[in-house]
Structure 1
């Protein structure tokens, strides 16, 4: 376990328990889970009601074993029609199950019935199903279960930070020795790092990395509570973060292959044309970082057929994609912007496909891509004042970067989105507006931290901030309950995911543009290092390559000139700008 990851999880007072599930397959090979399970104990009792005694004992680390001495028990009693309840805070967003260890209550070995409610916020944990969008979609987070007398039982898995427990049996007692999370994650080192003179940016880098780490389950998910699925477009910022923090991890090709194999053509991945386009971009980015020609060869036939399908949806230089026409949720009702975005995405994906086809020696597909892109560049649709479109137009050189910046700068962080915010930041960098982009990061992603977030959300709007209560506190009169009140489309109220990997963009962005580390040759053989400190006095960090980490430290001298120290593996050539 790396020092960085240890720092991230030592907060939870983890025990040394670790389990790798394995079994024999028919061919004799072993299937070993890539996931580790560790125990995490609550750090705070947020609330209790009814007859609950010695509840602070649940904050103590135990051994997970019931015993006959029955000492140190937490007692919950229901009397006179009153229900006993408590709400625990595990300190940070987690993915896993909850285990209950019980004692010996009066009345013999009769199981007790409890209700368990998980929440990514206090408000969600205190809600009932269908209240403000509270749901059991994807993961069961509001349910009843039985606890044995003098034993243990555990729940299914979800994404959560808070757990509410209600004793349901009338005139009954429940004794609890322990309530602990079985935290499920990939035990992998944080090879990338970021540290600067701005602690807020440092924390944002860490939270973005942790958000993606939580979603690196058996496959690369977009959310650990809701959207426990492989959404291909959403993977793009997640994979950028993985490349910047963890380097190679099998969860990426495994997830890309799942999307390919689950989508026979002429289907679109996840039913969305742009998501099949993002698959092409992801294949290009993965090849640039890892240079696995054998893996790229495995994609050749599907890539060629997908290119033919995309090209077949271009009429007289204009995209005419069928399927779900989607960029991101905030832009989804603007059909003019969506058309413009699809035009840019088609160009973007075909340009990447042309590069991959050249590597594969497929000159026919390469030529088809290049000819279609040339034709499409003769038609420039209206951007409709959409920041999403401005970002894509800047990326594909349809719009001058300075013009794109002027549109992106309107209202500052207003109309940013957690998914496309990454590409908006990329467009600002292309215009040389690094300091302004860092301020957006502080305001927009930092705004979630100000509300108590420990992972980044499916969506966020800075208009939610005025008079907002924190998500780690009980809702109070006069304060806006952000989780219950806001959200739209598929994420209304408590259905809103507060751990969504597509929101991790600043982690990758800070590595690429502040540390200035960018791969420029397939297989990570050559990197360019071009720091942009903005108003920072220093920034340092590391970046993983297949040959070891690149380490950089940039600092300003008394004249404001940036001095750099760079260390790289012998196999990596560094171009310094």
Structure 2
């Protein structure tokens, strides 16, 4: 079905949570099924030098037969319109309508409306709209109708069927079929084009993503297209990561759009035969999310870092949060976990978080860790509770809890005789890309994430009213935490050692478990100081060279009040990429590398992603630890604002919340803060008694003050840093 631009724009806006006119009805399906179906399509678009390269983990599919129903009590008869993806029947109180009706009349009174839908090639989905009867997340769905009929024809009065709340993306236009979802596009011209050999090289000015459009294509022969995040890659016909080879037979000049979107900055088009080409442009493909958060400060390099981080993150925000736009375009759990955190300080788009979590998890039975990686299963657990904290969406936690429980059952069944986790066949212990990083034995980092996941399970089980399981998970977490320090803490090294092998702790100390232990608040104050001095600020401990783990290293330091040190690190590390001409942030950056070394990875000269979501972490660090804004209770019902300039002269910004936004300006003499919702506390230090407009500050410690914040009030504090 061809969509008009207007309807497509409305569809995409609603899909990504943008403000639009409220609708009563929406498309619904079995929860998680459209997420899985769309992610399967997206993740199987990956190519490597023109060859199809699918994911290497188990991919699930949607349920092909789904029953939907809801009971209504009508004051009068009501005509209802039906839109369905798949073959279906419609019943009122168990009586089927003939054929495939698109309109039915439901009589006055209490009635049960049900639809049963079959779809092999697409997700069974329905859209029902009447005056009072509408399809939404309050409908129930099941993939197995465990009903039976006796010899007299009487239906069973005892059901064994498990029903769940229907899934929805708030798709409120009945003509926009879920199976036809596509991201938005807009035309963009190349910033510069120059002739090369028989063809041309187009430079789009910065990293981008979309469909190449060929203008004035003519002749018979072939057109070779080589894509590059760098000019060197685009000019390397033998080693560029992505390419296209087109067979051309055109008598007149034609404009043509390449059918598969790709990442690039440079495009090298080389004709063969008598093929000619006038120019190259593109259709930029993007998720139309709104930039609700922002940050500005007195340091222009930091402002540039923030802007490039935001652009990097936007490029990797697509149907789901993905790892990088050039190579994988897969839904990796560890990468996505960081994207969730960045999202809360930029777009704050809950639908994308939920879609990504559901797509990663897939279906039961569980046969492997998420993405086959042990640590990535743990990030999935953590991501769910974080989502609740930032959104207040308790229902999602309750709906996804059964999938949490079955995954945790899988993890618990893989413990060894000491109750710890270590490598088993089929596992990938990732942690980080680092030379000579041992994954042997019982790695402390994995036990730490396991412990945090058990704590998360206890909290989520309580929300799902599974009190027995909540108590069990809480007990298991406490036992594991106690074991963690007994087995791995080395007093002389003032750190958790990296691993145990054959029941004996090693002498090796790495940063990973130690930095996570700080912001998990697992250490005593004395242990935190020991870890900071002996590990995090110790150059003898192997350095981290990926933005992925720099994210957590700098978060740990920020959590200990080292914002001034972190600001310098941020300027050196992310500023170092900018100095080398980066227009988006990379998968890996080692300042010790030179020239073309910065482009290589995985044994390939251009294997590295130059636009990786985990490179955008300054968005999160600046929002949470410099603006200092974070929820204290779910959905920012209560929150804390604790600004830290970290050497800056001034800073200002906004953080999006479910109730609107929290805005802050902070200099060394003045703080201005306002919130659209919730109640908060502004905490700050001052060498003099502050003067407050809008409220009264209370001294709560030596030179430390707190000011209670109410929604809608603009507070101004004059103080002395």
Q: Structure 1 residue 504: deviation in Å?
A: 1.7
Aligned to 1:409: 537
Supply the distance in 2 between the matched residues of 1:331 and 1:346 (Cα, whole angstroms): 24
8 Å CA contact 1:434–1:532 kept in 2: the answer is yes
8 Å CA contact 2:350–2:391 kept in 1: the answer is no
Aligned to 1:319: 421
Q: Structure 1 residue 422: deviation in Å?
A: 1.0
Matched, 1:387 2:511: yes
| Counterpart pick for 2:453 among 331, 338, 349 | 349
Supply the distance in 2 between the matched residues of 1:277 and 1:25 (Cα, whole angstroms): 35
Aligned to 1:564: 671
Q: Is the alpha carbon distance of 1:345 and 1:175 closer, same or farther for their aligned partners in structure 2, counting shifts above 3 Å? A: closer
Q: Is the alpha carbon distance of 1:338 and 1:218 closer, same or farther for their aligned partners in structure 2, counting shifts above 3 Å? A: farther
8 Å CA contact 2:209–2:264 kept in 1: the answer is yes
| Counterpart pick for 2:596 among 463, 481, 485 | 481
| Counterpart pick for 2:241 among 135, 145, 157 | 135
Q: Secondary structure at the match of 1:224?
A: coil
Aligned to 1:77: none
Aligned to 1:366: 470
8 Å CA contact 2:629–2:640 kept in 1: the answer is yes
Q: Structure 1 residue 289: deviation in Å?
A: 1.1
Q: Is the alpha carbon distance of 1:340 and 1:332 closer, same or farther for their aligned partners in structure 2, counting shifts above 3 Å? A: farther
Aligned to 1:305: 406
Aligned to 1:42: 190
| Counterpart pick for 1:493 among 582, 586, 605 | 605
Equivalent runs, 1:417-496 vs 2, <5 Å: 417-464=546-593, 468=594, 480-484=595-599, 486-487=600-601, 490=602, 492-496=604-608
Supply the distance in 2 between the matched residues of 1:332 and 1:287 (Cα, whole angstroms): 37
| Counterpart pick for 2:216 among 96, 102, 108 | 102
Q: Secondary structure at the match of 1:462?
A: coil
Higher helix share: 1
Q: Structure 1 residue 309: deviation in Å?
A: 3.0
Q: Is the alpha carbon distance of 1:516 and 1:338 closer, same or farther for their aligned partners in structure 2, counting shifts above 3 Å? A: farther
Across the aligned residues of Structure 1 and Structure 2, the Cα RMSD in angstroms comes to 2.6
Aligned to 1:73: none
Q: Is the alpha carbon distance of 1:502 and 1:455 closer, same or farther for their aligned partners in structure 2, counting shifts above 3 Å? A: same
Supply the distance in 1 between the matched residues of 2:585 and 2:640 (Cα, whole angstroms): 29
Supply the distance in 2 between the matched residues of 1:390 and 1:43 (Cα, whole angstroms): 46
Supply the distance in 2 between the matched residues of 1:291 and 1:145 (Cα, whole angstroms): 53
Of stretches 217-226 and 109-118 in structure 1, the one that deviates more from structure 2 is 109-118
Equivalent runs, 1:175-574 vs 2, <5 Å: 175-176=277-278, 178-262=279-363, 264-314=365-415, 315-320=417-422, 322=424, 323-330=427-434, 333-335=437-439, 339-377=443-481, 378-380=483-485, 381=488, 382-383=497-498, 384-399=508-523, 400-406=527-533, 407-411=535-539, 414-464=543-593, 468=594, 480-484=595-599, 486-487=600-601, 490=602, 492-557=604-669, 563-569=670-676, 571-574=677-680
Aligned to 1:87: 201
TM-superposition CA deviations, 1:401-423 (whole Å, max 9, x none): 32332212234994242111111
Q: How many residues align?
A: 490
Q: Is the alpha carbon distance of 1:540 and 1:332 closer, same or farther for their aligned partners in structure 2, counting shifts above 3 Å? A: farther
Supply the distance in 1 between the matched residues of 2:365 and 2:609 (Cα, whole angstroms): 29
Q: Structure 1 residue 88: deviation in Å?
A: 1.5
Length-normalised TM-score, structure 2: 0.64
Q: Is the alpha carbon distance of 1:402 and 1:510 closer, same or farther for their aligned partners in structure 2, counting shifts above 3 Å? A: same
Q: Secondary structure at the match of 1:351?
A: helix
Supply the distance in 1 between the matched residues of 2:435 and 2:394 (Cα, whole angstroms): 37
TM-superposition CA deviations, 1:95-126 (whole Å, max 9, x none): 111101207xxxxx744532111101111111
Q: Which has the higher contact order (CA 8 A, sep 6+)?
A: 1
Supply the distance in 2 between the matched residues of 1:18 and 1:409 (Cα, whole angstroms): 55
Q: Is the alpha carbon distance of 1:576 and 1:419 closer, same or farther for their aligned partners in structure 2, counting shifts above 3 Å? A: same
Q: Secondary structure at the match of 1:304?
A: helix
8 Å CA contact 1:311–1:372 kept in 2: the answer is no
Aligned to 2:71: none
Q: Secondary structure at the match of 2:270?
A: strand
8 Å CA contact 1:147–1:153 kept in 2: the answer is no
Supply the distance in 1 between the matched residues of 2:247 and 2:350 (Cα, whole angstroms): 37
Q: Structure 1 residue 17: deviation in Å?
A: 11
Q: Structure 1 residue 159: deviation in Å?
A: 0.9
Matched, 1:174 2:276: yes
Supply the distance in 2 between the matched residues of 1:110 and 1:248 (Cα, whole angstroms): 47
Q: Secondary structure at the match of 1:38?
A: strand
Aligned to 1:69: none
Of stretches 544-553 and 359-368 in structure 1, the one that deviates more from structure 2 is 359-368
- Segments of 5+ residues of structure 2 without an aligned counterpart are 13-82, 87-125, 128-173, 489-496, 499-507, 684-721
Aligned to 2:27: none
Q: Is the alpha carbon distance of 1:239 and 1:18 closer, same or farther for their aligned partners in structure 2, counting shifts above 3 Å? A: same
Q: Structure 1 residue 395: deviation in Å?
A: 2.9
Supply the distance in 2 between the matched residues of 1:573 and 1:34 (Cα, whole angstroms): 39
Q: Is the alpha carbon distance of 1:394 and 1:89 closer, same or farther for their aligned partners in structure 2, counting shifts above 3 Å? A: same
Of stretches 259-268 and 150-159 in structure 1, the one that deviates more from structure 2 is 259-268
8 Å CA contact 1:233–1:278 kept in 2: the answer is yes
8 Å CA contact 2:323–2:335 kept in 1: the answer is yes
Q: Is the alpha carbon distance of 1:298 and 1:312 closer, same or farther for their aligned partners in structure 2, counting shifts above 3 Å? A: same
Q: Is the alpha carbon distance of 1:221 and 1:264 closer, same or farther for their aligned partners in structure 2, counting shifts above 3 Å? A: farther
TM-superposition CA deviations, 1:211-256 (whole Å, max 9, x none): 1211222222111111111101111111111111001242221111
Q: Structure 1 residue 545: deviation in Å?
A: 0.9
Q: Is the alpha carbon distance of 1:313 and 1:392 closer, same or farther for their aligned partners in structure 2, counting shifts above 3 Å? A: farther
Higher strand share: 2
Q: Structure 1 residue 565: deviation in Å?
A: 0.8
TM-superposition CA deviations, 1:24-79 (whole Å, max 9, x none): 8445642363621011111123x5334xxxxxxxxxxxxxxxxxxxxxxxxxxxxx
